[in-house]
Amino acid sequence: MYQIGTTLTQFILEEQRKHAGATGEFSCVLNDIALACKKIAALTSKGDLIGVLGSAGSENVQGEEQKKMDIITNDVMIEALSRGHAAALASEEMDEVYNLPSNIPRGHYLVTFDPLDGSSNMDVNVSVGTIFSIMKAPEGVENPTAADFMQPGTKQVAAGYCLYGPSAIMVLTTGNGVNMFTLDKDCGEFLLTREDVKIPADTKEFAINVSNQRYWEPPMQRYISECLLGVEGPRGKDFNMRWVASMVAEIHRILTRGGIFIYPMDSKMKAAGKTGKLRLLYEANPMGFIVEQAGGMATTAYSRIMELQPTDLHQRVPVVMGSRNEVELVTGYHNA
Ligand code: AHM
Ligand code: MG
């Protein structure tokens, strides 16, 4: 039990004390990420005042348009994590693994991140977020390569996100529940505002981009059409729908009041040779870890996301996560 108002720094140090022999390196990685998120929170709140909105005129490795802020926030993350506490970094916005310059002593942790998820929302002033995941570099590896990042989500030692909304909120798990820290801009600290957050097992709210409905697989068609039938249908209750197009905002809502978030596989992606929309290492695994730690469930609609063996740094997967009973139902429909 921590006191509400505990700083994220105090929290990280107290958690470190519980691990005999901890060197402080892991705590330093978390502090580096927190610093980057504070800087990104400042940048997102200034927006047009500092000319950071709009397209950068480039594409990332997956052929997606990069926003100016995708590039700026990626640089902020790299800068903050280049202090010698991490071993190597991988980002949605970089083609290859980023190894720290040779003059910096390497740490033992691999960090993956999406520096600004939902970045298309920046231009319309809607919530965006940073997502991150931390794993251990394999024993004895000094120059990590992409192969060293191919670890299932169950190997994550920490994951989190920072939501830049009306307030900036850091949500963190180190495998011992989920805690939320709100940025107090007056003192420049993330302060604990919600401890051991749990997602209600039942919900009446779903989030899916319905414009893709005609491409979904039949079990997904069935699930959503049953929700839409409301009290008159087999579910016997009315559902509400939300779609922010910002996964961080959707998952934050689900952690706050329950719900299910779905970005499914569909025939359009299949025809284009894609295996899903969201990225396993930067989005699905960290969010899956957080959701599971909050008592929820995270699957591909067929199997547990965290048990997937990654095969590619930028691998995409279908995602179904949130309130346990609802995710179980959807997953059951797909495996029937
Ligand atoms: P991004 O990492 O390029 O921002 O893409 C991920 C985002 C998610 O945050 C969101 O759930 C999804 O893309 C929205 O997709 P769509 O525009 O197809 O609704
Ligand atoms: Mg993203």
Please write the tens of the pLDDT for every residue from 136-173. Answer: 999 989 899 999 999 999 999 999 999 999 999 999 99
| Stretch 89-97: mean pLDDT | 96
Q: What is the pLDDT of residues 7-21, one digit of tens each?
A: 999 999 998 888 878
Question: From the CA of 128, which ligand is nearest?
Answer: 1
Closest ligand 1 atom number to CA of residue 246 = 9
Sign of the alpha-carbon dihedral angle for 17, 20, 24, 28? negative
* More confidently predicted of 56 and 230: 230
How far from 112 is each of 7, 94, 101, CA to CA, in Å? 24, 11, 17
pLDDT greater than 90 at residue 103: no
- pLDDT level of residue 271 (50, 70, 90 thresholds): very high
How far from 157 is each of 79, 97, 132, CA to CA, in Å? 22, 19, 11
What distance, in Å, lies between the first and last C-alpha atoms of the chain? Answer: 42
| Stretch 45-62: mean pLDDT | 87
Q: What is the pLDDT of residues 175-223, one digit of tens each?
A: 999 999 999 999 999 999 999 999 999 999 999 999 999 999 999 999 9
31 lines ligand 1 (CB under 6 A): no
**Which 3 state secondary structure label does DSSP give 219?**
helix
**Which 3 state secondary structure label does DSSP give 58?**
strand
Closest ligand 1 atom number to CA of residue 248 = 9
What's the pLDDT at 64? 80
- pLDDT level of residue 104 (50, 70, 90 thresholds): confident
The answer to whether 175 and 293 are in contact (CB under 8 A) is yes
Q: What is the pLDDT of residues 107-140, one digit of tens each?
A: 999 999 999 999 999 999 999 999 999 999 999 8
CATH level 3 topology of 205-335: D-Maltodextrin-Binding Protein; domain 2 (3.40.190)
Locus of tokens 């909120």: 169
| Stretch 247-276: mean pLDDT | 98
* Numbered ranges of CATH 3.40.190.80 in the chain: 205-335
The answer to whether 322 and 205 are in contact (CB under 8 A) is no
Beta 168-173 vs 158-164: how paired, if at all? antiparallel
| Stretch 285-295: mean pLDDT | 98
How is residue 253 annotated by DSSP? H
- pLDDT level of residue 72 (50, 70, 90 thresholds): very high
How far from 83 is each of 11, 26, 33, 130, CA to CA, in Å? 21, 12, 11, 19
- Pocket test residue of 246, 252, 280, 316 for ligand 1, highest count of atoms within 8 A of CB: 246
The answer to whether 148 and 142 are in contact (CB under 8 A) is no
Rounded Cα–Cα distance for residues 33 and 100 (Å): 15
For the chain, percent of residues with pLDDT exceeding 70: 100
* Numbered ranges of CATH 3.30.540.10 in the chain: 8-194
- Pocket test residue of 278, 281, 287 for ligand 1, highest count of atoms within 8 A of CB: 278
Rounded Cα–Cα distance for residues 145 and 283 (Å): 20
Is CATH 3.90.1150.10 correct for 8-194?
A: no
For the stretch 239-248, what's the b/e string if a residue is b when 16 or more beta carbons lie within 10 angstroms of its beta carbon? beeeebebbb
Question: From the CA of 120, which ligand is nearest?
Answer: 1
121 lines ligand 1 (CB under 6 A): no
Beta 240-241 vs 278-279: how paired, if at all? unpaired
Could you list the residues known to form a binding site for substrate, using ranges.
Answer: 117-120, 209, 277
What's the pLDDT at 21? 80
What's the pLDDT at 61? 77
For the stretch 93-107, what's the b/e string if a residue is b when 16 or more beta carbons lie within 10 angstroms of its beta carbon? bbeebbbbeeeeebb
The burial of 153, by beta-carbon neighbours within 10 Å (0-12 exposed, 13-18 middle, 19 or more buried), is given as: buried
Mean pLDDT over the full length of the chain? 95
Q: Find the helix or strand (DSSP H, E) in which 180 lies.
A: strand 179-184
The answer to whether 139 and 100 are in contact (CB under 8 A) is no
| Stretch 30-54: mean pLDDT | 95
Atom 5 (ligand 1) nearest CA = 118
Helix axis angle, 324-335 to 218-228, nearest 10°: 140
